[in-house]
Structure 1
Amino acid sequence: MKRVVLFLLTNLAVMLVLGVVLSIIFAVFGISSRSMGGILTIAAVFGFGGAFISLAMSKWIAKRSTGAYVIEHARTDTEQWLMATVAEQAQQRGIKMPEVAIYDSPEINAFATGPSKNNALVAVSSGLLHNMTKDEAQAVLAHEVSHVANGDMVTLTLIQGVVNTFVIFLAKVLAGVVDNFLSGNEEESGPSWTYFLFDMLFQILFGVLASVVVAYFSRKREYAADRGAAELVGANKMRAALERLKGNRESQLEGSMMAFGIASGRSIGELFASHPPLDARINALK
């Protein structure tokens, strides 16, 4: 329930901010919201704006949605080891030390998030600490640090922004065509209910297709992060960590946290999966 409320409030705040920005742009440049230029502006503002605001807030959202405890001063040997391991790997990758956190969850998982390489968060679940050996956990941390060093958060945000813009633009253009056809090209003071209905339907349809594109690039990033982890700690440790995940329970992470987690969540098909199959990832490391 906490995640749902946080999701709704965050998205409401983002919509309000982008709505104000859009109104200012229209007023300053005198753009009509029904012109092609106006539709493209709406699509770009909401497509890229929503993606980058989410990226900017990603650490804050991740901490609150998972209840993660950020380690500032290590209190236990485990926390000290986590901090030392991430610090060493970050130095090897030439990035600033990410924040390190632990969140309470029985699943074996970890994730990386943040707006840039040098302003990131790496979090591990309590389930990972209880069920993995140090070598396996070290490989998982290397996987997440590789995500950060590769700039995967920004890369996928750009991809998400592009596909969002195309989805919104195409949906509104086609909704306008359908609306004009059904109304007999009659001039109206504003869009009819059929326009809003088809706009929503087209956005759902194109959104599903766009998710296939985003998932494809996400899977590519997973292979790259596995490869980066193998370079940091050795392929044997990374393969052992992935083998351990075969008996893992389904990930409860959502959104970008799941996309950059070591374990994947539920998917209706491989095309929509953010992670490749574990066997494929293990074979790729051989």
Structure 2
Amino acid sequence: MSYFRTALLLAGLTGLFMGVGYLIGGGTGAVIALVIAAAMNVFTYWNSDRMVLSMYGAHEVDARSAPDLYNLVAELAQRAALPMPRVFVMDEPQPNAFATGRNPQNAAVAVTSGIMQQLSREELAGVIAHELAHIKNHDTLLMTITATIAGAISMLAQFGMFFGGHRDNNNGPGIIGSIAMMILAPFGAMLVQMAISRTREYAADNLGARIVGQPMWLASALVKIENAAQHVPNEEAERNPATAHMFIINPLSGRGMDNLFTTHPSTENRIAALQQLAAELGAQGSAPSRAQNDPSRSPWGRSSGTRGPWG
């Protein structure tokens, strides 16, 4: 997705936010909504990483407390020509990971304890490279802003439903309009959020695979993470669904096929794209089957922290 199209989608979200404000409070409501949107974006710019990391109870680790993980991130960051991000671990059994931060100089990579236990070192390298690709593409700030605005639209629509909408000159939407606003405004915000998120996942898969040099490592990791995530709930993500798109695999329960209602492309489609990239790069290997990827097969930490995943 080009930056121009992304800017258009963000403008659409802001416009939708102002539209809900107009339905609630007329012209004044639209202006207030615009001011609120601007204030949220400024706040999110400076505090997005701290907000989401605190939400998931992530604790920072270093070369002493988690040498294997820290050194792997450092090695991949060097390959990606990125500053070393801060590294965090979430005490969460569901295998998953995300990146956050306003720019590459202020970025963080967070992984769950579950992903460290269930992935091989090579598969974890593929996942971390994917997250570093998000940082390199400046996706981390974009995705947090879209989550903030989309969540605010939903809250504002519920507020409008409670008050029955704008009543200037008896031309407000009334109860029917308010119900429609409550349903359609969050739905429109969700569609815009999904359009941004799903395209960014494909781009991060591609760049991450190029960073690590082995697309099938990431493909194998995606299968393992999805299989496990379907059976291991992430309670914090369930309480904060607006953050689901930040993870490498949708952490929410009840997701279906690759459609308008998912935050991520289907894993099958992502693996197919990685297979094609592997063929282009001359990499060996085939798409992993679910049966071949038993999460208990190979602990990722079998290699020493000083040894790269490539040798």
Q: Does TM, normalized by the shorter one, top 0.5?
A: yes
Q: Is residue 109–residue 127 contact of structure 1 (8 Å, CA) maintained in 2?
A: yes
1:232 aligns to 2:219 (yes or no): no
Shift of 1:141: 0.7
Larger Cα Rg: Structure 1 or Structure 2? Answer: 1
Q: Is residue 104–residue 136 contact of structure 2 (8 Å, CA) maintained in 1?
A: yes
**Equivalent residue for 1:223, pick from 188, 193, 202:** 202
Counterpart in the other structure of 1:42: 32
Counterpart in the other structure of 2:51: 61
Aligned AA (2:135): V
Q: How does 1:199-218 map to 2 (within 5 A)?
A: 202-218=181-197
Counterpart in the other structure of 2:263: 274
Could you give the per-residue CA deviations for residues 16-64 of structure 1, whole angstroms, max 9, x where no partner exists? xxxxxxxxxxxxxxxxx9663x333212222243244234322222332
Shift of 1:153: 2.0
Shift of 1:119: 0.7
- Backbone CA RMSD of aligned residues: 3.3
Shift of 1:161: 7.2
Could you give the per-residue CA deviations for residues 204-258 of structure 1, whole angstroms, max 9, x where no partner exists? 4212221111112101111111111110121121111112124212452345653
Aligned AA (1:241): A
Aligned AA (1:285): L
Aligned AA (1:64): S
Counterpart in the other structure of 1:74: 64
Counterpart in the other structure of 1:14: none
Shift of 1:120: 1.3
Q: Is residue 156–residue 218 contact of structure 1 (8 Å, CA) maintained in 2?
A: yes
Shift of 1:156: 3.1
**Equivalent residue for 2:98, pick from 103, 111, 116:** 111
Give the % identical residues: 28
Q: Is residue 153–residue 186 contact of structure 2 (8 Å, CA) maintained in 1?
A: no
Shift of 1:195: 6.7
Counterpart in the other structure of 1:30: none
Q: Is residue 104–residue 125 contact of structure 1 (8 Å, CA) maintained in 2?
A: yes
Q: Supply the distance in 2 between the matched residues of 1:256 and 1:134 (Cα, whole angstroms).
A: 30
Could you give the per-residue CA deviations for residues 90-148 of structure 1, whole angstroms, max 9, x where no partner exists? 22333221110111111111111122221111111111111111001111111111111
**Equivalent residue for 1:85, pick from 72, 76, 84:** 72
Secondary structure at 1:70 match in 2: strand
C-alpha distance 57-125 of structure 1, shift in aligned 2 (>3 A): same
Counterpart in the other structure of 2:229: 249
Q: Supply the distance in 1 between the matched residues of 2:211 and 2:105 (Cα, whole angstroms).
A: 19
Q: Is residue 51–residue 160 contact of structure 1 (8 Å, CA) maintained in 2?
A: no
Greater CA drift, 258-267 or 206-215: 258-267
Aligned AA (2:61): I
Shift of 1:68: 1.5
Q: Supply the distance in 2 between the matched residues of 1:124 and 1:58 (Cα, whole angstroms).
A: 17
Q: Supply the distance in 2 between the matched residues of 1:158 and 1:147 (Cα, whole angstroms).
A: 14
1:260 aligns to 2:246 (yes or no): yes
Secondary structure at 1:129 match in 2: helix
TM-score (norm 2): 0.65
The count of aligned residue pairs is: 237
Secondary structure at 2:84 match in 1: coil
Q: Supply the distance in 2 between the matched residues of 1:160 and 1:59 (Cα, whole angstroms).
A: 13
Unaligned runs of 5+ in 2: 1-23, 276-311
Aligned AA (1:279): E
